[in-house]
């Protein structure tokens, strides 16, 4: 299916033309038929001689219903510009053309209607000149009469040529169906319609609608039920999981996790000077119309604050309009859907400089160079394709190569500096290192660690690091003149500066054997004690062990318990022990 939008001034025969081509009534509402003008979006279709199906979104031409018109042309790839031969180019002709140009529609056809009432030549010449100055460029022109049928054969041939030039749609990309109508069908529930510009819809698919997950209960295209519908197509979707009151024009059905609703975007404007824009305008994206506040940044770039989030991606085209003046200011290309804050002095000027380098094409290397670190799902939601040229550095984290290399060089420096300031600690805590490097995830810190650094117990240290020289000297002084199983008194240790932290560090690095918080022996005391006790008659008592070791009960009790735990001795039921 190929979907085209009509465009043109009110009462120039758009609906009559669609009716003549399709035999269907596009103005479906009683009020529209009574007033003889399209108020909301109409829809009809026909099959051409080649077998191709062409569907028409018939949009209103009256200036009061321009928002409705923009909702209809937003997702459509091509347009028919309709001009009446007896009236020629008119104000709404110009505004509709400006809208098509703003949305970068590049395929179209001029149809001059009412050729039975006036010579179509002058209207054709003027309209072609106006159209040629826009993104549509040079387009074919056909003169017809909806009343007599003259020229309809030529129009069908022109339509055949037009649809043959349309680019093939992508059918395997994520779905973003902008909703242009929502209603309730008795016995079926909530139904929404829209133009499927890309992707494929299938019965049973789960999609997101705002914060809600919905399921496709049924599909219909061209008035017939379907199990699946591929782009480009007009489609009606019967939804399970939402009510009519919770959905409306401007909402979008989305593939879960593949879009990022945002209320702040940086854009490039194609049209009026940015400095001439009013502070408040309306952004038309897809079928949505959202008030925005405009903050100029550069000569043709601005930041838009949306009144409500929209599922936008880098490279999307949208339109800015001043509803008070009925003026299309121009089209916008979305450059960034997750822009940085501008709170610091000079941030706006710096951001404007960055935006001059962006072209609206979502490139992975470019995004990483600016964001430095980001997750895979955030990149894909922005519209950035993940390529094999870049691999995640940890989990689903992607990093700019230069930034990642710089972090790898900083990490050992940070660890060394920390251990210099905290010589008694067993290493730098991972979270402290994460904060120093400004990293959002501990997994990134772990991925940066290289030998001789290692991770132990949630801390980073050098695998070959030994105790500080000062601590070695203090421990040696504490044991001067003592026997191998004599423990220095707690007050003597404190007087030397060996408090709880220093003793814990000495035990951790193997300088001492810590039996209790305040009872320490020289390194190697446990193995030496086991050797001495092995020379006793087996089994032996606590008192016999104490005498053999020439130590106090304060030391002997925890020392023997340690030997039990290490399986160097075995405690018997009568509280005697024997060596193993």
Q: What is the pLDDT of residues 269-301, one digit of tens each?
A: 999 999 999 999 999 988 888 999 999 999 999
Report the pLDDT value the prediction gives residue 266, as an integer from 0 to 100: 97
- Asked whether the predicted pLDDT for residue 339 surpasses 90, the reply is yes
Phi, psi of 195, deg, nearest 5? -100, 115
Confidence of residue 541 (pLDDT cuts 50, 70, 90): very high
- Per cent of the chain over pLDDT 70 is 92
Contact 3, 195 (CB under 8 A): yes
- Identify the pLDDT of residue 31: 33
This model's pTM is above 0.85: no
Q: Where in the chain is the domain with CATH 1.10.10.10?
A: 469-579
Contacts of 170 (CB under 8 A, 6+ apart): 198, 199, 231
**Backbone angles phi and psi of 226, in degrees to 5:** -145, 145
As a CATH number, domain 469-579 is 1.10.10.10
The residue whose two tokens read 């509803």 is 323
Element (H, E) at 471: helix 469-479
Segments of the chain assigned to CATH 3.40.50.300: 2-165
Structure tokens at 110: 């001029």
Distance of CA 46 to CAs 1, 3, 21, 223, Å?
Answer: 10, 11, 7, 12
| DSSP for residue 49 | T
Average pLDDT of the chain is: 86
Q: Which CATH architecture has domain 260-361?
A: Beta Barrel (2.40)
CB-based contact 337:313 (threshold 8 Å): yes
Average pLDDT of span 6-11 = 78
Region 381-404: mean pLDDT is 91
- Say which residue, 185 or 71, is predicted with more confidence: 185
Query: What pLDDT score does 40 carry?
Result: 45
pLDDT score of 69:
53
71 pLDDT above the threshold of 70: no
- Over residues 149-153, the mean pLDDT reads 90
pLDDT of residue 29: 40
Local confidence band at 42 (pLDDT 50, 70, 90 cut-offs): low
Q: What angle do CA 306, 172, 252 make, to 5 degrees?
A: 25
Structural domain 2-165, CATH architecture: 3-Layer(aba) Sandwich (3.40)
Mean pLDDT of 538-558: 92
Q: Are 239 and 190 in contact (CB under 8 A)?
A: yes
Residues with Cβ within 8 Å of 508's Cβ and at least 6 positions away in sequence, in order, are 426
User: How do strand 212-221 and strand 224-226 relate by DSSP bridges?
Assistant: antiparallel
Q: What does the alpha-carbon distance between residue 270 and residue 284 come to, in Å, rounded to a whole number? A: 14
The encoded tokens of residue 237 equal 């979707």
Provide the pLDDT confidence category of residue 32 given band limits of 50, 70 and 90: very low
Give, in words, the CATH class of 176-254.
Answer: mainly beta
**Structure confidence at residue 291 (pLDDT):** 96
Q: CA quadruple 424, 430, 431, 434: dihedral positive or negative?
A: positive
The answer to which of 32-46, 163-177, 509-523, 528-542 has the lowest mean pLDDT is: 32-46
- Residue 338 pLDDT > 90: yes
Half-sphere exposure of 205 (CA within 13 A, CB side): 21
pLDDT computed for residue 466 by the predictor = 61
Say if residues 41 and 178 touch (Cβ distance below 8 Å).
no
Contacting residues for 367 by C-beta, under 8 A, at least 6 apart: 374, 379, 382, 384
What integer pLDDT is reported at residue 60 of this predicted model? 53
Confidence at 460, pLDDT banded by 50, 70, 90 = confident
Query: Per DSSP, what are the bridge partners of residue 507?
Result: none
For CATH 2.40.30.10, the residue range(s) in the chain are 176-254, 260-361
């Amino acid at each position: 299916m190929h979907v085209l939008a009509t465009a043109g001034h009110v009462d120039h025969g758009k609906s009559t033309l669609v009716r003549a081509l399709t035999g269907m009534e596009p103005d479906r509402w009683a009020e529209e038929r009574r007033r003889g003008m399209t108020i909301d979006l109409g829809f009809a279709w026909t099959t051409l001689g080649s077998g191709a199906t062409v569907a028409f979104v018939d949009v209103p031409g009256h200036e009061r219903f321009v928002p409705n018109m923009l909702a209809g042309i937003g997702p459509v790839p091509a347009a028919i510009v309709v001009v009446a031969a007896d009236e020629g180019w008119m104000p709404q002709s110009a505004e509709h053309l400006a809208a098509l140009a703003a949305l970068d529609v590049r395929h179209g056809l001029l149809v001059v209607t009412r050729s039975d009432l006036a010579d179509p030549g002058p209207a054709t010449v003027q309209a072609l000149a106006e159209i040629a100055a826009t993104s549509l460029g040079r387009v074919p022109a056909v003169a017809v009469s909806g009343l007599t049928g003259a020229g309809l054969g030529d129009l069908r041939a022109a339509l055949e040529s037009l649809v043959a030039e349309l680019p093939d749609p992508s059918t395997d990309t994520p779905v973003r169906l902008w909703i242009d109508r929502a209603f309730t069908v008795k016995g079926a529930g909530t139904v929404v319609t829209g133009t499927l510009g890309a992707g494929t819809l299938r019965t049973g698919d789960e999609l997101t609608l705002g914060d809600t997950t919905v399921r496709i209960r049924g599909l219909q295209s061209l008035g017939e039920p379907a199990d699946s519908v591929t782009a480009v197509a007009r489609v009606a979707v019967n939804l399970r999981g939402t009510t009519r009151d919770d959905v409306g024009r401007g909402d979008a059905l989305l593939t879960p996790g593949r879009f990022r609703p945002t209320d702040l975007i940086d854009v490039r404007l194609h049209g009026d000077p940015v400095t001439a824009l009013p502070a408040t305008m309306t952004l038309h994206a897809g079928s949505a119309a959202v008030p925005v506040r405009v903050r100029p940044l550069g000569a043709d770039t601005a930041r838009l604050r949306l009144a409500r989030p929209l599922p936008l991606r880098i490279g999307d085209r949208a339109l800015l309009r001043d509803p008070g003046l009925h003026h299309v200011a121009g089209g916008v290309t979305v450059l960034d859907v997750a822009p940085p804050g501008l709170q610091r002095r000079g941030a706006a000027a710096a951001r404007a400089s960055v935006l001059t380098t962006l072209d609206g094409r979502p490139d992975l290397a470019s995004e990483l160079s600016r964001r430095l670190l980001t997750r895979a799902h955030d990149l894909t939601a922005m519209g950035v394709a993940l390529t094999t040229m870049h691999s995640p550095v940890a989990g689903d984290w992607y990093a700019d190569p230069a930034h990642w290399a710089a972090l790898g060089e900083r990490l050992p420096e940070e660890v060394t500096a920390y251990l210099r300031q905290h010589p008694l600690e067993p290493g730098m805590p991972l979270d402290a290192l994460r904060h120093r490097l400004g990293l959002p995830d501990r997994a990134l810190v772990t991925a940066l660690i290289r030998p001789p650094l290692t991770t132990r117990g949630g801390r980073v240290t050098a695998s070959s690091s030994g105790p500080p020289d000062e601590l070695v000297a203090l421990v040696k002084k504490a044991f001067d003149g003592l026997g191998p199983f004599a423990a220095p008194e707690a007050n003597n240790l404190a007087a030397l500066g060996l408090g709880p932290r220093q003793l814990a560090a000495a035990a951790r690095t193997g300088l001492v054997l810590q039996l209790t918080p305040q009872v320490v022996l020289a390194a190697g005391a446990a193995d030496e004690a086991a050797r001495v006790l092995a020379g006793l008659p087996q089994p032996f008592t606590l008192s016999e062990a104490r005498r053999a070791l020439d130590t106090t009960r304060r030391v002997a009790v925890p020392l023997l318990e340690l030997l039990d735990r290490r399986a160097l001795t075995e405690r018997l039921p009568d509280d005697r022990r024997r060596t193993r």
